[in-house]
Structure 1
Amino acid sequence: MTTITDRLAQAQHRIALAAQKCARDPADITLLAVSKTKPPAQIIAAYEAGQRRFGENYVQEGESKIIALKANYPDIEWHFIGPLQSNKSRIVAEHFDWMHTLSREKIAQRLSEQRPAGMAPLNVCIQINVSQEESKSGVAPEHMLPLAAAIAGLSGLCLRGLMAIPTATYDHELQHREFAQLQQLFRQLQTHYPEVDTLSMGMSNDLETAIAQGSTLVRIGSAIFGERD
C-alpha cells in the first residue's frame, strides 16, 4: 500500500522529469498539495515528508485546519484556491497566505481592507477564465490588466501572478493551446509588473503540459492524497 510519503515523492519525480524535458530547473516549480476534504492527519503526514505548501478550496474547512495546525506547524504556507463569496472574504484575509482565484475588484478591495495590519500583504493571483466556460470563474483575458492595476493600488495585497483552471480534458492539443495562452498573458503581465513571478496552472492529470508551457506552481491533490472524500 502506497503512503502519502510515497505519493508525494512520485509527484515530485513527475515534476522533475517534466522540467528536465523542457530544460527547466525543477527547483523553479512549486508543488502545492491540495488538501481539500482531507483531515489534518493527512496534512501532517505530508508535512512530515517535507511538504510545506497546502491548498484549500473551501473557506470554513480551510480556516478550521489552519487554526488546528497553526500552533505546532507555524511554517505551513496556506493557499486559498477555491471560489470566494464576498461575505467570506474576511476569513481568507485573516488566515491565508495566498489567494489564487481573484477575479473581482470588489473582492480585492475587501481582502485588502480586511487584511490584519500585523500580517504581510496577502499574495494574490488573478484567475483567468482561459477556457471561456460560463460555469467557471475568472476574468476574460482582456480584463486582466485593469484588474491588475486595481490590485496594485491596494496596500493589503501583493500581486504575484496568474491562475487558471483549463478545460478538463485528455486532449493534449487543447491543453497545450490553453496553457500557451496563459503563458502569453503571464508574460504580458510581467511587462507591466516585473515583480510578478507566479503562474499557477497544472494539476494531477496535466502537470507535464503545464510545466512545458511555463507553470511555476502546480496544484496536486488526488495524486498525493487520493480521491476526495
Structure 2
Amino acid sequence: MESAATRLEEVRASIARVCKPARREAADVTLIAVSKTHPAERIEPLLEAGHRVFGENRVQEAQGKWPALRDAYPDVELHLIGQLQSNKADDAVALFDVIHSLDRPSLLKALAAAMDKAGRRVPCFVQVNIGDEEQKGGCAIADLPAFLEQVHASGIPVAGLMCIPPADIEPAPFFALLAKLAKDNGLDGLSMGMSGDYETAVMLGATHVRVGTALFGARGA
C-alpha cells in the first residue's frame, strides 16, 4: 500500500501538471483532503506529511475527531462540505473555518444568527444545483442572483460557488457552467471536483478541490 505522503504528493503533482496548460499556478488551487468516515489514525499521516486543509461531511462526526487533532495541529483549516441542517448552524460555526453548502434562505438565516452569536464570520460557498437534480441540495440556477443578494446583505462572506455534478455524466460542461455563473456574479472561488474528476475541475478553474479516495484509499480500506 502506498503511504499517505506518497498519495498526497501524487495528487499535488497531478494538480500542478494540469495547471500548466491551463496557465494557472498550482498554489492557487486548495486541496481539501476529505476525511469523512476516516478515523483520526488515518488522518494523522497526512497531517504529519504537512497537509493542513481537511473536509468533513457531518458536523457530529467532525466534533468527535477534530478537537483533539487540532490540539496537536492548531493550524488546521477545516471545511464543511456536506449538507448542513439549520439546527446544526451553531455547531458548524463553532467548529469549521469554511462552509461549502449554503443553499437556501432558512440556512442563511440560521448561519447569520449563529455567526452573530459567536462573534465570528465564517466564509461560505453557495452551493448550486448545477444539474437541476431533485434529490440534491443546492440553489436553483435561476434563483442564484437573488439568493446571493440575500447572502451579501446578511454580512456572511461569500467564498464563491460550489457544485456536485450529476453522477456518471461528463462533468466538464457542469464545471464550465459553474465558472460562468461565478464570473457573471463577480465571484472568484470555485469549489468543484472530487477524486474522479478533480483534474478536469482544475482545468476549468476550480480554486478548491475536494479529494478523499485518492488520498485515503477506499472508505474502510
Supply the distance in 2 between the matched residues of 1:86 and 1:165 (Cα, whole angstroms): 20
Q: Look up the SS of the partner of 2:50 in the other structure.
A: coil
Q: Look up the SS of the partner of 2:185 in the other structure.
A: helix
1:98 lines up with 2:98 in the alignment: yes
1:200 lines up with 2:191 in the alignment: yes
Contact 1:130 1:166 in 2 (8 A): yes
Quote the residue 1:221 is aligned against. Answer: 212
Q: Look up the SS of the partner of 2:123 in the other structure.
A: strand
Contact 1:93 1:112 in 2 (8 A): no
Supply the distance in 2 between the matched residues of 1:107 and 1:118 (Cα, whole angstroms): 16
Supply the distance in 2 between the matched residues of 1:120 and 1:27 (Cα, whole angstroms): 27
Supply the distance in 2 between the matched residues of 1:57 and 1:10 (Cα, whole angstroms): 24
Quote the residue 1:193 is aligned against. Answer: none
By how many angstroms is 1:116 displaced?
6.1
Quote the residue 1:187 is aligned against. Answer: 183
Q: Look up the SS of the partner of 1:70 in the other structure.
A: helix
By how many angstroms is 1:209 displaced?
1.2
1:165 lines up with 2:167 in the alignment: no
Q: TM-score scaled by structure 1?
A: 0.91
Supply the distance in 2 between the matched residues of 1:109 and 1:53 (Cα, whole angstroms): 27
What do the CA deviations read for 1:132-162 (whole angstroms, capped 9, x no partner)?
111111011111111111111223x211100
Q: Structure 2: where are the runs of 5+ without partners?
A: none
Quote the residue 1:76 is aligned against. Answer: 76
Equivalent residues in 2 for 1:129-144 (5 A)? 129-144=129-144
Quote the residue 1:127 is aligned against. Answer: 127
Supply the distance in 1 between the matched residues of 2:13 and 2:60 (Cα, whole angstroms): 32
Q: TM-score scaled by structure 2?
A: 0.94
1:52 lines up with 2:52 in the alignment: yes
Q: Structure 1: where are the runs of 5+ without partners?
A: 191-195
Q: How many residues align?
A: 220
By how many angstroms is 1:120 displaced?
3.5
By how many angstroms is 1:117 displaced?
5.5
CA RMSD, 1 decimal:
1.4
Q: Look up the SS of the partner of 1:54 in the other structure.
A: strand
Contact 1:94 1:116 in 2 (8 A): no
Q: Look up the SS of the partner of 1:71 in the other structure.
A: helix
Residues 198 and 64 (structure 1 numbering): CA distance in 2 closer, same or farther, change over 3 Å?
Answer: same
Supply the distance in 2 between the matched residues of 1:144 and 1:40 (Cα, whole angstroms): 37
By how many angstroms is 1:118 displaced?
6.0
Contact 2:87 2:110 in 1 (8 A): no
Quote the residue 2:171 is aligned against. Answer: 175
Quote the residue 1:150 is aligned against. Answer: 150
Contact 1:151 1:159 in 2 (8 A): yes
By how many angstroms is 1:107 displaced?
0.7
